[in-house]
Amino acid sequence: MTVAVRASRSEGAVLIPDRQSFVFVGDRLWLDFVNTDDVELGVRRDALRDFTTMLDWLVAAGVIDLDRRAAVMRRAEQQPAGATAALLDARRVRGALRALAERGLGNVDVRTEAVNEINRVLGRSAGTRRLEPLGDGQYTRSFVAGGDAFAALMIPVVDDAADALIGGELARVRRCSDPRCRRVFLDGTKNGRRRWCDMATCGNRAKAARHRARENPLRPGRKYGQPAPIAAVPSAQS
């Protein structure tokens, strides 16, 4: 779903991507980026399926604003080959970060490959880091590209992954316990026992499955058609 609003520095109406159109359950930007390749109820939803949708995700995630999106789209119209290359590069970054999220903690090679990928992206873009005030009185870091506008799009994502490595957060990165779900997230619970990417979806499905298993007499471990155990009936002599 999109909502038409009037953007600053623009005379026309623009479409703001609805955050609810994408999955944001990772509690870290880089994990939410990994989750752009999502499978829900057996249907794949890829936010990197095309360049425009990727920009919509970056807006919804707060990585770029509408003015930046408009500028990058103009560049994409002028340089479609550059936009295609940027999209393919984003998918490459996502693949390395997914491997880091799922296997990086116990695999040195995976971590090394992710570090190389992060440094590749960080090293190719010229620009300036800035501290920007937000409308609610808070502040955020931003990266103002001074070179290739396409190359700079992934800077905040890989920067966040770098922060996770520096901060030792890999030990808290989890994959959803639902085997049908590919989403990853940072477990911020005190006991480190968060299992589901989202209780409203995977958590509720697991809860419903447990309830059905209790109500269904065909318990796991018995063959189909095998009768359920019958409670002992007291004898007349007891």
pTM to 2 decimal places: 0.75
Cα–Cα nearest to 125, from 147, 94, 154:
147
The one-digit pLDDT tens for each residue of the chain (238 residues) are 333 223 333 334 445 566 668 989 999 999 999 999 987 766 788 999 999 999 999 999 999 999 999 999 999 999 999 999 999 999 999 999 999 999 999 999 999 999 999 999 988 766 777 888 887 888 887 777 666 778 889 999 999 999 999 999 999 999 998 888 889 999 999 888 888 887 666 756 655 555 455 556 555 543 433 333 434 434 444 4
CA gap 104, 118 in Å, rounded: 14
CA gap 114, 223 in Å, rounded: 46
Note the pLDDT of residue 33. Answer: 98
Note the pLDDT of residue 140. Answer: 80
CA gap 31, 37 in Å, rounded: 11
Note the pLDDT of residue 160. Answer: 96
3-state secondary structure string, the chain?
CEEEEECCCCCCEEEEECHHHCCCCCCCHHHHHHCCEEEECCEEEECCCCHHHHHHHHHHCCCCCHHHHHHHHHHHHHCHHHHHHHHHHHHHHHHHHHHHHHHCCCCHHHHHHHHHHHHHHHHHCCEEEEEEECCCCCEEEEEEECCCCCHHHHHHHHHHHHHHHHCCHHHHEEECCCCCCCCEEECCCCCCCCCCCCHHHHHHHHHHHHHHHHHCCCCCCCCCCCCCCCCCCCCCCC
Note the pLDDT of residue 218. Answer: 56
User: 2-6 and 184-186 as β-strands: parallel, antiparallel, unpaired?
Assistant: unpaired
Residues 56/60/63/69 CA torsion (nearest 10 deg): 40
